[in-house]
Structure 1
Amino acid sequence: MSMLNTSDAHLPFPILIGDIGGTNARFSILADAAAEAVNFPNVRTADFKTIDEAILMGVFAKTDMRPRAAILAVAGPINGDEIPLTNCDWIVRPHTMLEGLGIEDVIVINDFEAQALAISALGENDRERIGTASRELVASRVVLGPGTGLGVGGLVHAQGSWIPVPGEGGHVDLGPRSMRDLEIFPYIETIEGRVAAEQILCGRGIVNLYRAICKADGIDSKYRDPADITSHALAETDKTAVETISLFSTYLGRLAGDLAMIFMAKGGVYLSGGISQKILPALRRSEFRAAFEDKAPHSHWLRAIPTYVVTHPLAALAGLSFYARQPASFGVSTEGRRWRR
């Protein structure tokens, strides 16, 4: 068995699809290219020592269908035959999967590549438009995912293919712009003196921003859990929490607009991740979209780009399924990321 450098992405069905996060792993099986995906209950990563054990108990024990191939999206760098996961003790070892699970072919990609694949073909029922821009173009797109961290993925459309572009866009600099920002930013917790976007635009970032506002205003902080801040903001039962989520929406809009310009994302910008869905009522207000469009001298261009919140509950699995059904429609690099028996 050896790792192959091949662009032939056609896999034998049935195909096991897996989205492996830090806390939960989600699996489904595609019987063939036309079949509906069969979804399995979420697996808590802490409940199993290895991913192989989780697949045996969480999938194989619940169906007679035996996959011949697997496509996995993982939160972590893919470099070599052992792939450690971020925020989880599992190590993905494709060779072990080939030997122990009867699988012939394994492809492993980055979790935000899967999110990018998903936004190539999400239906109207799986997204909610934010703002009035609605022009549908088959053109480059961007996905941002504020959740445990801040993931960013690009989706370039070229030569009839969708090409996902992974990266570390969540770690670009975020700076103050308004007078209020200048009051708050000195109190934002930094990384070696730097305010990266992920210092604000994720779960712990909400708490970081809330505490900074409290310090700027000389008041005691009451909340340590992002869910508490979010719920009080949406219920309008705490003034500082309301401002926290308002500013969160503004900063998310600014970054989304920056990324739209970087990628020439005329096909739209999509917000995925757990926080986007939780704060949807706040994102429907004016702050996010106003900040997104406020990009002089190119505001007219930003006003034409649609923005969406992804509401599909299993977007990464959907993206991997789109790819598994029609690999020729996607320019997914499998070099160094595919293993075969």
Structure 2
Amino acid sequence: MSKLFLVGDVGGTNTNLALAKHDQSGIHLVRKARFSTQQEKSLLAPVERFLEAAREQGFVDIIDFCCISGAGPVQPDESIQLTNAPWSIQASELSSVLKIPVKLINDFTALSYAVTLLDYRDTDAVTQLPHPDGSLYEPRDGIMLVIGAGTGLGVGFVDRIGNNIVAFPSEGGHSEMPCFDDLSHAVHRWLSNKYGYSAGAELVISGQGIANIFEFVCSDEFRVQMLTSDYAVSHAALTTGLSETAKHILALPRPEWPANIALHAENDVFCTLAMELFGRLYALKAANLASIFLPAGGIWLAGGISSKNEAWLLKNARFMRWFEKNYAPHIRQFLAHTPVLIVKNYDISLLGAAVAALQLSAHD
């Protein structure tokens, strides 16, 4: 018997909604739409517009269950206060209007469910990052670690043994920032002074993190003496004043900074340095988490930043060279054999919510 689910993925930037059908052939998204999280005041309004548009186009099937993933921890009252948006999601509010059961899950719990559907050999959906020596390794049964730099930094993990799948929520994006040199320590001090607390990973490994790093390297706090030779950027260009590109980016609304910084990563020294430090911190954080979870099933880099900057992360093994750094020889050996993959399927969060809906509705 087939089932129809209303599923959603609510992040700091976008709110994605879909109708997902489960039948003998699997789970399929039959209708989807995207809304701006920042322009909405709650989830209810876009849900109502989405369903009204579906009805106007003749979609009359009865929805059995609703599962919404949100960027934030699920509270005991089945609510999520979004970490990068000014409103919350209330399961009771949605359920009373939709007249169906509603379940909320963390966004990276949804992604953790979703990566179990992916075939690491499907190059349309996944890119595996070669290790510096060119080697590639097959994900095995066990822990699959999901890390995603987007508007914020999300972390989740799922334990897969055959067909048995258990996903777990996490707030690992708010753990410690992996400082490793004078520049990263200086950025950490600057951010810690700004926020009044020791700066966490999300403040440098995310869209807002790219903006934060860029602001620092463009500020009077930055000194070229903080750089080691392996940054391979022009000290002269950094000390003769801000480039026209940097000035242009700084004049834009801050939410537009990350995409423009990435766009100019190859041709502007300030953008290059910001993206280089971001990439190293991202890799080191992934390695830190790998030493905790020992993910035999691989590390799956989700979130829009990884997929949009795939070429940057791949070039000269930029990500993987730093991923394999650790003071302990046995951890370096483990990291050197751990598969790391970029998730390119933009529907992955919705599919994860649909997988969760299928499991949760069976127990409702």
Q: 1:212 is matched with which residue: 196, 209, 216?
A: 216
Match of 2:343 in 1: 310
Q: Deviations over 1:45-71 (max 9, x none)?
A: 456554333222212431222312111
CA distance in 1, matches of 2:87, 2:214: 33
Match of 1:128 in 2: 127
State the shift of 1:13 in Å: 2.2
Letter in 1 for 2:297: G
CA distance in 2, matches of 1:210, 1:239: 11
Is 1:22–1:85's contact at 8 Å kept on the other side of the alignment? Answer: yes
Letter in 2 for 1:106: V
- Worse-matched range after superposition: 153-162 or 249-258: 153-162
Q: 1:294 is matched with which residue: 325, 336, 339?
A: 325
SS at match of 1:177: coil
SS at match of 2:342: strand
CA distance in 1, matches of 2:203, 2:42: 31
Q: What is the root-mean-square deviation of aligned Cα atoms in Å?
A: 2.7
Alpha-carbon distance change, 263 to 31 in structure 1, aligned in 2, over 3 angstroms? same
Is 1:183–1:216's contact at 8 Å kept on the other side of the alignment? Answer: no
Q: 2:99 is matched with which residue: 77, 85, 102?
A: 102
State the shift of 1:264 in Å: 0.9
CA distance in 2, matches of 1:92, 1:46: 14
Letter in 1 for 2:112: A
Is 1:27–1:59's contact at 8 Å kept on the other side of the alignment? Answer: no
Letter in 1 for 2:177: L
Alpha-carbon distance change, 299 to 48 in structure 1, aligned in 2, over 3 angstroms? closer
Match of 2:232 in 1: none
Match of 2:177 in 1: 174
CA distance in 2, matches of 1:57, 1:272: 28
Aligned length: 317
- What TM-score do you get using the length of structure 1 for normalisation? 0.83
Match of 1:8 in 2: none
Alpha-carbon distance change, 53 to 268 in structure 1, aligned in 2, over 3 angstroms? same
CA distance in 1, matches of 2:181, 2:65: 52
Alpha-carbon distance change, 202 to 240 in structure 1, aligned in 2, over 3 angstroms? same
Letter in 1 for 2:314: R
* Percent sequence identity over aligned pairs: 27
CA distance in 1, matches of 2:337, 2:264: 33
CA distance in 1, matches of 2:93, 2:2: 19
State the shift of 1:322 in Å: 3.0
Compare relative contact order (CA 8 Å, sep 6+) and give the higher one, 1 or 2: 1
- Does residue 198 in structure 1 map to residue 202 in structure 2? yes
Q: Deviations over 1:150-205 (max 9, x none)?
A: 11112223585222221221122224323554565544555324131112111121
- Does residue 37 in structure 1 map to residue 37 in structure 2? no
State the shift of 1:323 in Å: 3.4
Match of 1:276 in 2: 306
- Worse-matched range after superposition: 78-87 or 132-141: 78-87
CA distance in 2, matches of 1:268, 1:278: 20
State the shift of 1:117 in Å: 1.1
- What TM-score do you get using the length of structure 2 for normalisation? 0.78
State the shift of 1:288 in Å: 1.0
Alpha-carbon distance change, 288 to 47 in structure 1, aligned in 2, over 3 angstroms? closer
Match of 2:356 in 1: 323
Is 1:246–1:282's contact at 8 Å kept on the other side of the alignment? Answer: no
Match of 1:226 in 2: 258
Letter in 1 for 2:223: A
State the shift of 1:93 in Å: 3.2
Unaligned runs of 5+ in 2: 225-238, 251-256
Match of 1:262 in 2: 292
Match of 1:240 in 2: 270
- Worse-matched range after superposition: 213-222 or 288-297: 213-222
CA distance in 2, matches of 1:317, 1:291: 31
